[in-house]
Chain A
């Protein structure tokens, strides 16, 4: 198993370690619910060093990223970031990513999912339009600082006003002798940032953040709460809501697809599917009877036709009730539509609801 620079710190501070996509990662420390609540109320630190970083540089950097991604990369100025997608040539998705513009037209950092890093790097290299593409994943540690008190902690630690940065922007700095890049992005719905730090400085920064944030309630947060927090926001997770076969419009990701602006890999198939009429939508739902939805469970209409599948489901710690995300036939996708969820052979009433589940 691969280890992040923080693996020993997690073990020594009581993290329960699991294999996550080949990485030795903490699933929880004090307990999932307590950690989840602490991110909603105070501030939590996440080790996200397992995420991959791919650098795209040179005179052909922008042209290459335009072709590789669905969003409008050209509009990014220095220090701006955007959520985007790597489409494949079959109308599906290689990954979902964040593109950081370090220098307009010629220097970008692409943050990719840990589980997809090698696949993404190979794909980007194969479809390169002449940029200098390097895998910088081993160079960077990454810490996410999330919660209503996150920006207060960041302002204390980073020597500049992170609280005054716009969402989806990036600022370079130093921590001790290590280079850092602070990005106002996140995966919880809370205020906060994600900090890239030279790998060797990750441990020092982690410990410093915990110490400086003691009075704010700063705590380490495991992958378990990371998943429940993103589910409450209906944020997609690769391998759940999106995969190699997903049409991004069906996944509700039309807002990051800009076909009018440029050409990109798979554009005709992706857009064609939308124009032909989408078959299914990704919706959030709640239970009307007892039971907890889980990935893979089937959805049925009241006349017993299969109409969809659950992509993510859990008991929401914030709402203290079960919540689920599912693909459902478009005819049933309207808010308020009731359907049946097959929970281990038991048909259980559920209803399409408004998302995000937790309003921020």
Chain B
């Protein structure tokens, strides 16, 4: 199965993507992640203003079968939440890398980006699954 993995995004080993625009980072889950989850039926996200820490859980995504934690790709403050997902979480299956974004974070430090994967490494990671 060919997944769309944007070249300019950063990736975590837990299958979140991070799109960086200066110090604002948009976060979502990858196409591989949604495929593994199956139909998403519920998403629990932090509130605006909440502080999150790289590598720590910041929310939960649930499919019919399973509960999965969401891990923060960078530390910072949540400045925007995709509230459309609470009404229609299926967007996460249909378009996880665009419309299905989860939160926008004001990043504390760019240095943390060095801990994330780039697209070629992430492709390698999922090809081994």
- A interface with B by C-beta (< 8 Å): 27-28, 31-33, 224, 227-228, 290-292, 294, 314-315, 317, 322, 344
Known pairs A292-B62, A344-B60; A33 contacts B67 (CB<8 A): no
The residues of B that contact A294 with a CB separation of less than 8 Å are 67
The residues of B that contact A31 with a CB separation of less than 8 Å are 38-39
Q: How far is the CA of A281 from the CA of B5 in the complex (A)?
A: 49
State whether A224 touches B65 (Cβ < 8 A): yes
Q: How far is the CA of A32 from the CA of B65 in the complex (A)?
A: 9
The residues of B that contact A315 with a CB separation of less than 8 Å are 41-42, 62, 64
- B:26-51 near A, CB below 8 Å: 38-39, 41-42
- B interface size (C-beta, 8 A): 11
Q: How far is the CA of A195 from the CA of B63 in the complex (A)?
A: 31
Tell me, rounded to whole Å, the shortest Cβ–Cβ distance linking B42 to chain A. Answer: 5
List 19 contacting pairs A-B, 8 Å CB cutoff, sorted by A: A27-B65, A28-B38, A31-B39, A32-B38, A32-B65, A33-B39, A224-B38, A224-B64, A224-B65, A228-B64, A292-B41, A292-B42, A292-B62, A294-B67, A314-B65, A315-B41, A315-B62, A315-B64, A317-B64
- B interface with A by C-beta (< 8 Å): 38-39, 41-42, 60, 62-65, 67, 86
Q: How far is the CA of A203 from the CA of B67 in the complex (A)?
A: 34
Q: Is the interface of B mostly helix, strand, loop or mixed?
A: strand
**What would 9 more interface pairs be, CB under 8 Å, given A32-B39, A290-B42?**
A28-B38, A32-B63, A224-B38, A292-B67, A294-B67, A314-B64, A315-B62, A322-B42, A344-B60
Q: Which of B38, B65, B86 has the most CB of A within 10 A?
A: B65
Tell me, rounded to whole Å, the shortest Cβ–Cβ distance linking A304 to chain B. Answer: 22
The residues of B that contact A317 with a CB separation of less than 8 Å are 64
- Closest 10 interchain pairs by CB? A315-B41, A33-B39, A315-B64, A32-B64, A292-B62, A224-B65, A32-B38, A292-B42, A314-B64, A294-B67
The residues of A that contact B60 with a CB separation of less than 8 Å are 344
State whether B42 touches A33 (Cβ < 8 A): no
Q: How far is the CA of A32 from the CA of B38 in the complex (A)?
A: 7
Tell me, rounded to whole Å, the shortest Cβ–Cβ distance linking B86 to chain A. Answer: 8
The residues of A that contact B62 with a CB separation of less than 8 Å are 292, 315
The residues of A that contact B63 with a CB separation of less than 8 Å are 32
Q: How far is the CA of A227 from the CA of B86 in the complex (A)?
A: 25
The residues of B that contact A291 with a CB separation of less than 8 Å are 42
Of chain B, the residue at the smallest CB distance from A28 is B38
Q: How far is the CA of A228 from the CA of B63 in the complex (A)?
A: 12
The residues of A that contact B86 with a CB separation of less than 8 Å are 290
Q: How far is the CA of A291 from the CA of B41 in the complex (A)?
A: 10
Of chain A, the residue at the smallest CB distance from B89 is A315
The residues of B that contact A227 with a CB separation of less than 8 Å are 65
The residues of B that contact A228 with a CB separation of less than 8 Å are 64
Q: How far is the CA of A27 from the CA of B35 in the complex (A)?
A: 13
Tell me, rounded to whole Å, the shortest Cβ–Cβ distance linking A321 to chain B. Answer: 9
Tell me, rounded to whole Å, the shortest Cβ–Cβ distance linking B84 to chain A. Answer: 15
The residues of B that contact A28 with a CB separation of less than 8 Å are 38
Tell me, rounded to whole Å, the shortest Cβ–Cβ distance linking A39 to chain B. Answer: 14
Of chain A, the residue at the smallest CB distance from B69 is A344
Q: Which of A27, A31, A292 has the most CB of B within 10 A?
A: A292
Tell me, rounded to whole Å, the shortest Cβ–Cβ distance linking A113 to chain B. Answer: 19
The residues of B that contact A33 with a CB separation of less than 8 Å are 38-39, 64
Of chain B, the residue at the smallest CB distance from A27 is B65
